[in-house]
Amino acid sequence: MQEALTQEQIFVTVDIMALTVQDGELKLLLSRRVRPPDQGRWALFGKLIGVEETAETAAKALLEEMLPVREVFLEQLYTFSDRERDPRGRVISIAYLAVLPWKELQGVLSAGDPKLRLFTLHADGGGLRLGSPDGTELTGEDLAFDHGTIVETGLLRLRGKLHYTDIAFHFLNDTRSFFLSELQGVFEAVLDKPVDGSNFRRAMLGRYVDTGRMVQVEHPSTARRRGRGRPAALYCLTED
Amino acid sequence: MQEALTQEQIFVTVDIMALTVQDGELKLLLSRRVRPPDQGRWALFGKLIGVEETAETAAKALLEEMLPVREVFLEQLYTFSDRERDPRGRVISIAYLAVLPWKELQGVLSAGDPKLRLFTLHADGGGLRLGSPDGTELTGEDLAFDHGTIVETGLLRLRGKLHYTDIAFHFLNDTRSFFLSELQGVFEAVLDKPVDGSNFRRAMLGRYVDTGRMVQVEHPSTARRRGRGRPAALYCLTED
DNA sequence: CCAAAAGTGTTGGTCGTACACCCATGC
DNA sequence: GCATGGGTGTACGACCAACACTTTTGG
């Protein structure tokens, strides 16, 4: 006979830190809380996990609640369990990092829900700096609960993983047709500093083209013009 | 008025993957389960989180239950939430990685509790291989619950962090008096492959001695003899 | 007892890769 | 103005060779 488990109630939630790159800037999707606690503050998306859900599936479900069905990059970040992180009780949060192409979000945001907003995300030196087009400037402290801490953790993780994983590609609107400069723009937005084009090109060509994971699909000379400057080559990510 | 939370009962536990290096081999501390489910199988240490505990403090408390009070390296690994991971119900586990100097464990193990055992840990290619001095050979599948998965995750994380963190030092019996070869032994045990002594020395001297985080405390010529071969220099980790 | 061998610690070099930084060229 | 390519210097790891100092071995 196996014993039954007994434990005082602990609530378990998932929180999603949804990121995208728009206009060369890293942006974080936040929602304004409409009720206490922390009413009126900006927060990550979160929900309680159902008994029939894993943390993964709960996070996916939460994302799909607001986005058209589509596969997005989702990765577990860290689990936060400070006693005072939620005044409603003992709430443990499993935080996830989501990476979205800007085009995915465009539709959702153009609906004009004032409770949803994209904030530019910077973290030079001490803390976070969040900005919105209407001039609002926030720090990590201004976010609801411990969400400032979560965002800091996520940003560090993202920056680290940029170099040795394929995570940057998930920011692209179309992985089957993009310029290297677009990819470079993602790197620059995430790292929040300029990247040397020459080295970047060499690195990507060596890491992806030489291994067949990426191919040039259109030669610049045959392409239609796309704005100023020398036409760029189009690349396509191959799936395997 | 803030709403009360309601959620069907989900249990939250911490599980600890405790590692040490002994005789040039990476070893994992496991305990044999004395009751169902998975009775008789080897498992990580785990316990339910109390309402007054954070995951961190719960993990620390669990470690101290079996070890003399002392600070050990402890780091959150990942949170596992598969629905079928525990037949007793909906149990989510926050897994922690603990790094212990062999000398810390020696006392506990010499007590002779047959429910505790150190297994050598290898992971070449496909899966895990766990070995014990009595000839027992296990794979990840043989462990209780999903603990095989947890151990794989932890090992990958440890190997990655070895290079850009100070985690290796936590395996040392005495961080105030050690040989570089001992530290190199830790690297070789964790990575499970030989490490070039020349580069290792250069890297450590550059990374730690030149920055003042490590100092040579005894010149070989003035040292008492310590076995065969050329006498080695003693180093000491400075705290800051 | 002494000399050679074997084991361990330490230092040095070369080579290829990768990145920072700069400059040149094509369109 | 932007995309692309080339070149130099530096840092670091893989791999190799030599040397320093000790214990062990065996005549």
DSSP string, B156-204: HHHHHHHHHSSGGGGG-S-TTSEEHHHHHHHHHHHHTS---HHHHHHHH
A207, closest nucleotide (Cα–C1'): C18
- Structure confidence at residue A239 (pLDDT): 77
Contacts B1 to A, Cβ<8 Å: 36
B9 touches chain A (CB under 8 A): yes
Whether chain B has a CB inside 8 Å of the CB on A228: the answer is no
Identify the residue with better confidence: B128 or B230.
B128
Contacts of A153 in chain B (CB under 8 A): none
Residue A5: strand, helix, or coil: coil
| Phi, psi at B236, each rounded to 5° | -135, 135
Residue B113 pLDDT level (bands cut at 50, 70, 90):
confident
Backbone dihedral angles phi then psi of residue A187, each to the nearest 5 degrees: -60, -45
Q: What structural domains does chain A harbor?
A: 10-161 (3.90.79.10), 174-237 (1.10.10.10)
Residue A67 has pLDDT above 70, yes or no: yes
> Is the pLDDT at B128 greater than 70, yes or no?
yes
Q: Is the pLDDT of residue B188 over 90?
A: yes
B198: Cβ contacts below 8 Å, ≥ 6 apart: none
* pLDDT class of A107 with cuts at 50, 70, 90: confident
Q: pLDDT at residue B95 above 90? A: yes
User: What pTM, to 2 d.p., does this model score?
Assistant: 0.92
CB of residue A233 closer than 7 A to nucleic acid strand D?
Answer: yes
Contact B137, B130 (CB under 8 A): yes
- The set of long-range contacts for A224-233, using a CB threshold of 8 Å and a minimum separation of 24, is A232/A179, A232/A180, A232/A181, A233/A179, A233/A180
Name residue B170's beta-bridge partners: none
Q: What is the pLDDT of residue A222?
A: 54
**pLDDT band, residue B8 (cuts 50/70/90):** confident
Report pLDDT for B112. Answer: 76
SS3 A76: strand
Kindly indicate the confidence band of residue A188, based on its pLDDT and cuts at 50, 70 and 90: very high
Among A69, A121, A125, A124, CA closest to A97: A121
Q: Which of B4, B54, B91 sits opposite A88 (nearest CB)?
A: B4
Better pLDDT: A219 or A146: A146
Q: Is the model's pLDDT at B222 over the cut of 80? A: no
Query: Cβ of B230 < 7 Å from strand C?
Result: yes
Most A CBs within 10 Å: which of B8, B15, B54, as the mutation test of the A interface? B54
